[in-house]
């Protein structure tokens, strides 16, 4: 890019803010000031334009006297500009060790969290950082090295929530020329000269070679990023449209039809994008895709917050939660209806056996020989190893096999409950009573239990 006179840079600065609609002229903006070249020039551009702003500085105390000097410099700068100054001291190393992440990542999280707090408390409309085109290029290169999709190829966005980048249009050479022409002082961070950090190695060793190949690299980059932003917006719209069409919201979780999923173009990519908000990683996609293509069910994948389950006909997404005990103990027949953890209600009734009594053909109703019932009764989630003899079936079988043979969905399996009398399962609720409790000619009193869902009331 050609060097600009200071007045020209100031005009481009205001033009960029207006074109991108970063904020209104009456808004007060929180400027994040490290004391380095870029942020100090940003502050000067705000001052020369007569905009409203305050300054915020974070001291991570990582460079001893140098860190103290940076804080003092920014405080003095705010006084010279006649604006409010905010500062805080944060321990990035402690956060890094606690979260198991790099010091740089910890510092970034702490810094932005604090900026948001200050903006909220002091009513700043936006938070401005001094990222520019060289930062955009370095971020794209870093993302390429680490592996990325379309979003990562856009580099640093112009806006991100409350955060804005009013210097996004400029490059480092222009910013440095502006400072030198205006006699502006700034602080040099000694760590920027070290190739210890990946970004610095790219800046010092890779970017110069790219600029030799294409002297107009940064101008080309702006055009490329603009095209990538448009492409990403189109892809994102299609991802949302297909998600809204396919995703079925149920109380148990979100269900995705496998049959419909496989009909979509690039369904694997769509699935990865759909799952991203739920904490799943692209590295998991290969195994997930194999699971979708294969027969069978029951495979599970975990993120930090969610669970993906492959059922027979669906993929199910549900939050990861520690299952509560969810056990009810009844010492006698309840005087009123029994609410079973908000999922359904059970109605209990003792009925004298009569010759014209007909057992309802309804899996939600169990008719048991009351004299064979041992109190207390326990209602709980079924467990591996639970066995019973389903009414009308020869021999015992596990509850798990019974549910599998009936092709019960994963969600329904996980919430299935048994009613236990003594050491016997009397009823797999909603499915089948145990044969031991069947009604016979000798039965004198029937314990009728009916399961009803809220819509049935």
Helix (H) or strand (E) holding 209: helix 207-213
Helix (H) or strand (E) holding 97: helix 92-99
HSE-CB at 247 with a 13 A cutoff on CA atoms is 16
Q: Are 53 and 29 a contacting pair, CB within 8 Å?
A: yes
Longest distance between any two alpha carbons in the chain, whole Å: 106
Return the closest-CA partner of residue 60 out of 101, 94, 100.
Answer: 94
Taken in order 425, 430, 435, 437, the sign of the CA dihedral is: positive
Return the closest-CA partner of residue 60 out of 89, 101, 86, 35.
Answer: 89
| 38 marked ligand binding residue | yes
Cα→Cα distances 140→41, 92, 201, Å: 24, 25, 14
Return the closest-CA partner of residue 338 out of 186, 451, 416, 184.
Answer: 451
Return the closest-CA partner of residue 444 out of 377, 385, 370.
Answer: 370
Backbone dihedral region for residue 30 (phi beyond 0: left; psi -120 to 50: alpha; all else: beta): beta
Cα→Cα distances 353→241, 333, 348, 418, 439, Å: 58, 18, 15, 25, 9
| 422 marked ligand binding residue | no
| 36 marked ligand binding residue | yes
Cα→Cα distances 211→138, 164, 194, 205, 206, Å: 12, 27, 21, 11, 9
Q: How far apart (Å, rounded) are the C-alpha atoms in residues 15 and 10?
A: 9
**Alpha carbon 243 to its chain's center:** 16
Q: Quick check: helix, strand or coil at residue 336?
A: coil
| 257 marked ligand binding residue | no
Residue with tokens 């056990």: 327
Binding residues for ATP: 34-39
Binding residues: 34-39
């Amino acid at each position: 890019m050609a060097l600009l006179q200071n007045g020209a840079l100031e005009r481009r600065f205001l033009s960029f803010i207006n074109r991108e609609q970063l904020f209104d002229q009456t808004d007060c903006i929180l400027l994040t000031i490290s004391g380095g070249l870029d942020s100090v020039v940003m502050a000067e551009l705000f001052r020369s334009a007569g905009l409203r702003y305050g300054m915020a500085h974070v001291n991570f105390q990582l460079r001893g006297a140098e860190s103290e000097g940076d804080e003092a410099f920014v405080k003095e700068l705010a006084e010279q500009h006649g604006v409010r100054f905010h500062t805080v001291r944060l321990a990035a190393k402690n956060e890094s060790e606690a979260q198991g992440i790099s010091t740089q990542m910890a510092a970034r999280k702490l810094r932005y969290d604090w900026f948001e707090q200050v903006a909220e408390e002091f009513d700043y409309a936006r938070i401005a950082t001094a990222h520019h085109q060289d930062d955009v290029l370095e971020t794209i290169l870093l993302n390429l090295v680490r592996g990325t999709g379309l979003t990562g190829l856009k580099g640093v966005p112009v806006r991100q929530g409350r955060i804005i980048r009013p210097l996004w249009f400029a490059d480092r050479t222009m910013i440095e020329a502006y400072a030198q022409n205006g006699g502006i002082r700034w602080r040099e961070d000694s760590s920027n000269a070290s190739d210890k950090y990946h970004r610095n190695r790219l800046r010092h060793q890779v970017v110069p070679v790219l600029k030799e190949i294409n002297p107009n690299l940064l101008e080309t980059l702006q055009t490329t990023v603009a095209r990538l932003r448009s492409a990403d917006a189109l892809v994102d719209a299609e991802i949302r449209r297909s998600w809204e069409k396919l995703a079925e919201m149920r109380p148990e979780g979100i269900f995705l039809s496998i049959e419909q999923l496989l009909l979509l173009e690039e369904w694997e990519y769509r699935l990865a994008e759909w799952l991203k908000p739920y904490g799943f990683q692209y590295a998991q996609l290969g195994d997930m895709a194999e699971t979708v293509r294969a027969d069978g069910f029951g495979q599970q994948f975990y993120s930090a917050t969610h669970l993906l389950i492959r059922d027979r006909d669906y993929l199910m997404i549900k939050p990861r939660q520690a299952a509560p005990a969810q056990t009810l103990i009844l010492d006698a027949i309840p005087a009123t209806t029994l609410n079973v953890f908000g999922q359904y209600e059970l109605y209990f009734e003792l009925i004298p056996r009569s010759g014209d009594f007909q057992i309802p053909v309804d899996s939600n109703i169990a008719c048991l020989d009351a004299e064979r019932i041992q109190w207390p009764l326990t209602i709980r989630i079924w467990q591996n190893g639970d066995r019973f003899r389903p009414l009308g079936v020869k021999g015992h079988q596990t509850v798990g096999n019974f549910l599998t043979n009936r092709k019960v969905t994963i969600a329904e399996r996980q919430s299935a409950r048994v009613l236990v009398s003594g050491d016997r399962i009397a009823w797999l609720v909603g499915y089948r009573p145990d044969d031991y409790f069947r009604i016979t000619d000798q039965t004198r009193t029937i314990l009728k239990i009916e399961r009803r869902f809220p819509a049935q009331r």
